[in-house]
Structure 1
Amino acid sequence: MPTRYRWFATCTAALGWFALALQLLLSIQLTQSNGQGALAGVWTYFGFYTVLTNILVALALTAGAIGPRGTITRFFGRPGVNTAIAMSIAVVGVIYNVLLRKLWHPEGWQLFADMTLHDAMPLIFLLYWWLAVPKQSLRWSQVLVWQAYPAGYFAYVLVRGALNGWYPYPFLDVTALGYVSVVGDALMVLLFFIAVALVLVGLGRWQARRVVAQPA
């Protein structure tokens, strides 16, 4: 990655980690105020796709900031991994703003965490992906491989819900909608993931061709 983008990665990684830490604290405070313990807040925190994906975003930005110094940073520095994360965080931003934002009205620090994780970080990471991630190695066949993460999350939600009856998103609430409707909703969302991934690969390959075509 060009050195000029490392400061950008450093600053935005710090913002992402701060927002994630803040959201964890707020989740714990909420469960404690409801008479539950801190572990309940942690359990809830790790149930959200937004949180899990923002952790991946923060890891990728951290890898970009410090460079390939170990197995983890090399993995999160890979163009395919970065593009898969860009796909997921883009879907986070769209789904939240289209379907979920109207369901609650956070204030104070919760509003800051909410806007950072759902609005700022998707835009920041897509900008980082466009500016700093090399894309010559992107292939169309990777699109289906990248769906393992959202598909795995869906299975994770179903298992968690079967254990305690809690589902993080209304369109995945088996208790309210039943398995047939939830699977239908999940398939529609998965198609959206695939569409976003196809757009990113198409843009990435176009950008890579332009870079190669530019005179030295």
Structure 2
Amino acid sequence: MPNRYRHFAAISALLGWLALALQLLLSIQLTVANGQGVLTGVWIYLGYFTVLTNVLVALALTAAAHSRPGSIRRFFRRPDVHTAIAMSIVIVCAIYNLMLRQLWHPHGWQIVADDALHVLMPLLFVLHWWLAVAKSTLRWAQIAYWQSYPAIYFVYALTRGAVNHWYPYPFLDVATLGYLHVLLNACAVLLVFVAVASLLLALGHWQVRREGKAIVVRAQP
């Protein structure tokens, strides 16, 4: 990871952790106000793909900001891991802003948390991915195993819903739509994940070719 981007990663990581902390506080405040307690607020908070993906974003940026060794830091600094997270946070941004934003109207600090998690952090992370992540090792075959994260989340969300009948997103609401409809929705979303991953990989390969040509030009007498 180029040293010149570590300050950017550190500032972005700090903003990410602050946004996550704010959203946790707001979730707890809401459930306490509704008489459901603190643990319910934490449980609901941990049910959202947005929150879990932003945790991964903050971890990856934190790892990128440090040069110290460590197996966890090395894992999150890997180009394929960074790209998989970039794929997921782009989906967070796209689905929320295109499909979910109009379904509710937050106020006050909830607006800050929403925009930070769904707009600011996706932009910062994709910018970091573009500027700081080496992409020469990225391969098309990696797209397949990048889908393990959304697939695991799908099983996780449905398992949680089967336990307490709460689903974080309307297109996953088995109680309303039924399992077949939800499965079809999940397949459609998975295709979007693959499309975004393919776009990122194509951009990464284009960036590698462009940088290679620039090196050749500079090396010529």
Which category describes the TM-score, using the shorter chain as reference length? over 0.9
Shift of 1:102: 0.3
2:4 corresponds in structure 1 to 4
* Distance in 1 between residues matched to 2:141 and 2:71, nearest whole Å: 24
TM alignment of 1:1-216, pairs within 5 A: 1-215=1-215, 216=219
SS at match of 1:67: coil
Post-superposition offset of 1:67:
2.5
Deviation at 1:210, TM superposition (A): 1.7
After superposition, the C-alpha distances for 1:110-162 in whole angstroms (9 at most, x for unaligned) are: 11000000011111111100000000000000001000000000000110000
CA distance in 2, matches of 1:15, 1:107: 20
Q: What CA distance in whole angstroms lies between the structure 2 residues aligned with 1:208 and 1:42?
A: 42
Give 1:207's aligned amino acid.
Q
SS of 2:51's equivalent in the other structure is helix
* Secondary structure of the corresponding residue to residue 166 of structure 2: coil
- C-alpha contact 1:68 1:74 (8 A) present in aligned 2: no
Please give the secondary structure, in 2, of the residue aligned with 1:214: helix
The DSSP-based 3-state class of the residue aligned with 2:134 is coil
Instruction: Name the SS for the 1:135 alignment partner.
Output: coil
C-alpha contact 1:60 1:76 (8 A) present in aligned 2? yes
Which deviates more from structure 2 when the two are superposed, residues 165-174 or residues 199-208? 199-208
Q: Partners in 2 of 1:134 and 1:68 — Cα distance?
A: 18
Contact persistence 1:16–1:121 (CA under 8 A): yes
Structure 1 counterpart of 2:210, which letter?
R
Give CA-to-partner distance per residue, 1:144-196, whole Å, 9 cap, x none.
Answer: 10000000000001100000000000000000000011000000000000000
Task: For 2:95, give the aligned amino acid.
Answer: I
Q: TM-score, normalised by structure 2?
A: 0.96
The CA RMSD measured in Å over matched residues stands at 0.8
- What fraction of aligned residue pairs are identical, expressed as a percent? 63
Distance of 1:69 and 1:31 partners within structure 2: 40
CA contact (8 A) 1:13 1:61 kept: yes
Structure 2 counterpart of 1:141, which letter?
Answer: A
Q: Which residue identity lines up with residue 12 of structure 1 in the other structure?
A: S
Please give the alpha-carbon distance, in whole angstroms, between the structure 1 residues aligned to 2:67 and 2:101: 36
Measure, in 2, the Cα distance between the counterparts of 1:189 and 1:97: 15
Could you tell me which runs of 5 or more consecutive residues in structure 2 were left unpaired when the two chains were aligned: none
Greater mean deviation of Cα atoms: 50-59 or 65-74: 65-74
- Decide which structure has the larger Cα Rg and report it: 2
Q: Given the superposition, is the C-alpha separation of residues 90 and 124 from structure 1 closer, same or farther in structure 2, using an over 3 Å criterion?
A: same
Quick one: distance in 1 between partners of 2:211 and 2:138?
A: 14
* TM-score when normalising by structure 1: 0.98
